[in-house]
Amino acid sequence: MAPSVTYSSTRGSATEASSSFREVVLAGLCKDKGLFVPDTIPTVGRGELESWRTLNYAELSTRILAKYIGPDQVPAEDLSRIITTACGNFRHPQVTPLQKVNGHYVLELFHGPTFAFKDVALQMLGGFFEYFLKQGSNGGRLAVLGATSGDTGSAAIAGLRGKEGVDCVILYPKGRVSEIQERQMTTIMDENIHCCAVEGTFDDCQDIVKGAFQDAAFRDEVKLGAVNSINWARVLAQTTYYFWSYLRVTDTNKEPGTKVSFSVPTGNFGDILAGYYCRRMGLPIGELVVATNENDILHRFFQNGDYSRRDINKTISPSMDICVSSNFERYLFHLMDDDPEKLSNLMKAFEATSRLTLSGRTLARAQEDFKSAKCDTAQTLDVIKTYKEKHGYMLCPHSAVGVSALDQLDMVKDTSVALATAHEAKFPDAVKMAVNPLPEAPPELARLWKMKTRSQVCDNDLAAVEDFMRKRIRERLERGKAVVQYGKWVLGGAFVAAVLGVVAVAVTRRKR
């Protein structure tokens, strides 16, 4: 039976046409290098949206996601359980609460296990992986390999720890991630988590991951999977908080026809893309603002159609330090009227020349879809300082970029929402330049300094990393078998003891 909701590659490969949600989640990336997009975008009518006003976060999320997943993939009850479990790992009952600060709203996305917004999606992705593997998909096993410069690795580990059937290997550049971020990864002792410090840079780590995915034999052998931001389930999970924000803002602002605008600190374009899909679904969104740091490829695109690769600038908002945006292809596909051939030609030209230019009517349409602003280091620090001094509110450097964009575009008002993507205590060195002394860190982060760590150093070499993965996965499988074997002995022993006991009782009775 064909799945009720289907997905295809942005680049149009025939083998990946009409894929199911399950296939999309487990594969991550398409084999033709494209990204999975839904074949149709479901809609939400005004009446339905209003009926969602009384739902809690997990209930709301279940209604939205069901439109993209379908009961043939995950029946409603199971979907609700996966989502409720994921939301239960957040410290705040509203999961992503809104705060009113300086006349606009701040959407706090940092109440998950690792204090950054990536938790919202990765807690759910872990649940989906486990669900599909338990049903025997992929032979019941998946080995996730990811590279991180900071936030992604810890959020992936927090989402996948202890998940049945899943091994998770995270590569990070040795000595080049912040100590908090490293400890958020290496203090996790679950046996299915394997941290690997590579003697190289973040780019080296990424190259190794790419190399492993291109090694077809290895990919099949270990059943390789991906958790990076191109996984559709991550974009999908993030749609929930746009709906949630709209409903909460209009709980108080009841003027008919109110539209809510969002400013989103952007790197790989995954977070704001979720907002774009929400607007396509019919959510009354006003502006979607792409807020960038000095790595401004997206700002240049939305200002004058110039999407061209430049070298990375190291900034104080490192999770937005990118030279190209991996999710941008999905938006370009829709901008090309969902035409895979036009999109493939664009992407091929970009891959060959590192440059893509759009103009005229197409650029004008892109500028209707998104506004943009750029915020440099001095502006970022200034916003952090002002918000602390004038409003008693702490922003992390990423969140400050989003707030600055609202200010630059004259959008500070009570229908605007700035997304706060991380807790300031994750970036103490940067924040200290604006606010000194710093507020006390949350106990979950302060505790990291006293905890035991575990990690292995690995050569900057694909074969070495592949060996490391094979070895760790084999060890774990064997340990699993040993536990089963041990269990059998214990059970066997108990059985023998019970039989002897019965015989002994019988014998004693007879003697009487």
Piece of 80-88, 112-120, 410-418, 434-442 that binds ligand PLP (CB under 6 A): 112-120
- Which one, 12 or 397, has the nearer CB to ligand PLP? 397
Phi, then psi, of 226 in degrees rounded to 5: -125, 150
Our finding on whether 421 is near ligand PLP (CB under 6 A) is yes
- CB of residue 174 vs ligand PLP: minimum separation in angstroms? 21
The piece of 137-145, 194-202, 265-273, 385-393 that touches ligand PLP (CB under 6 A) is 265-273
Cα–Cα distance between 333 and 453 in angstroms, integer? Answer: 43
Q: What are phi and psi of 36, to 5 degrees?
A: -70, 135
Query: 350 and 356 in contact (C-beta within 8 Å)?
Result: yes
Residue 151 interacts with ligand PLP (CB under 6 A): yes or no = yes
Among 16, 130, 167, 271, binds ligand PLP (CB under 6 A): 271
Per DSSP, the residues of 48-62 read HHHHTTT--HHHHHH
Which residue, 6 or 319, is less far from ligand PLP as judged by CB? 319
Contact (CB, 8 A) for 264 and 291: yes
Q: With CB under 6 A as the contact rule, which of the stretches 110-118, 119-127, 169-177, 466-474 interacts with ligand PLP?
A: 110-118
Judged by CB under 6 A, the residue of 12, 165, 267, 275 near ligand PLP is 267
Residue type, 211: G
Cα separation, 58 vs 88, whole angstroms: 9
d(CA 402, CA 405): 5
153 contacts ligand PLP (rule: CB under 6 A)? no
Distance CA 118, CA 223 (A): 24
Alpha helix segments (H runs only) across 167-268: 179-186, 202-214, 216-222, 232-252
Residue 269 touches ligand PLP, criterion: CB under 6 A: yes
Is 38 or 270 the residue whose CB approaches ligand PLP more closely?
A: 270
- The single residue among 96, 149, 268, 379 that binds ligand PLP, judged by CB under 6 A, is 268
Strand-strand pairing, 306-308 and 355-357: antiparallel
- CB of residue 236 vs ligand PLP: minimum separation in angstroms? 13
- Least distance in Å: CB of 339 to ligand PLP? 25
Q: Which of 79, 177, 233, 422 binds ligand PLP (CB under 6 A)?
A: 422
Q: Which of 250, 319, 404, 415 binds ligand PLP (CB under 6 A)?
A: 319
The continuous run of DSSP H or E covering 8 comes out as strand 7-9
**CB of residue 474 to ligand PLP, shortest distance in Å:** 33
CB atoms closer than 10 angstroms to residue 113:
20
3-state secondary structure of 456: strand
In sequence order, the 6+-apart residues with CB closer than 8 A to the CB of 387 are: 101, 102, 393, 394, 395, 400, 403
Residue 116 or 384 with smaller CB distance to ligand PLP: 116
Specify the 3-state DSSP secondary structure of 485.
helix
Please tell me whether residue 398 binds ligand PLP under the rule CB under 6 A: yes
How many Cβ atoms sit within 10 Å of the Cβ of residue 333?
25
**Of 229, 231, 295, 344, the one binding ligand PLP by CB under 6 A:** 229
The secondary structure of residue 164, as a DSSP letter, is: T
Of 202 and 468, the one with the shorter C-beta distance to ligand PLP is 202
- Cβ closest to ligand PLP, residue 200 vs residue 318: 318
DSSP letter for each residue of 95-156:
SS-EEEETTEEEEE---STTSBTHHHHHHHHHHHHHHHHHTTGGGG-EEEEEE-SSHHHHHH
How many residues in the shown chain lie near ligand PLP by CB under 6 A? Answer: 17
Q: Residue from 113, 146, 200, 270 that binds ligand PLP (CB under 6 A)?
A: 270
Site for ligand PLP (CB under 6 A): which residue of 266, 293, 372, 416? 266
How many CB atoms are located within 10 Å of the residue 290 CB? 25
Only segment of 134-142, 211-219, 260-268, 376-384 that touches ligand PLP (CB under 6 A): 260-268
- Cβ proximity to ligand PLP: between 79 and 278 the closer is 278
Closest approach of ligand PLP to the CB of residue 292, in Å? 9
Does 118 participate in binding ligand PLP (rule CB under 6 A)?
yes
Q: Which residue has the tokens 């959510």?
A: 283
In the complex, least distance from residue 147 CB atom to ligand PLP, rounded to whole angstroms: 14
| 271 closest CA partner among 226, 311, 331 | 331
118 is catalytic: yes
Query: Could you tell me if 196 and 456 are in contact, meaning their C-beta atoms sit under 8 angstroms apart?
Result: yes
| Shortest spacing between CB 310 and ligand PLP, in angstroms | 17
Q: Shortest distance, CB of residue 322 to ligand PLP, whole angstroms? A: 7
Neighbours of 377 (CB within 10 A): 16
Burial environment of residue 56 by CB neighbours within 10 A (0 to 12, 13 to 18, 19 or more): middle
Closer residue to ligand PLP in complex, CB, 195/320: 320
Minimum CB distance to ligand PLP smaller for 112 or for 270: 270
Q: Please report whether residue 228 would count as binding ligand PLP according to CB under 6 A.
A: no
- From the candidates 31, 100, 118, 413, give the one annotated as an active-site residue: 118
DSSP SS3 for 63:
helix
Residues belonging to the active site: 118
Contact positions toward ligand PLP, by CB under 6 A? Answer: 116-118, 151, 229, 265-271, 319-320, 398, 421-422
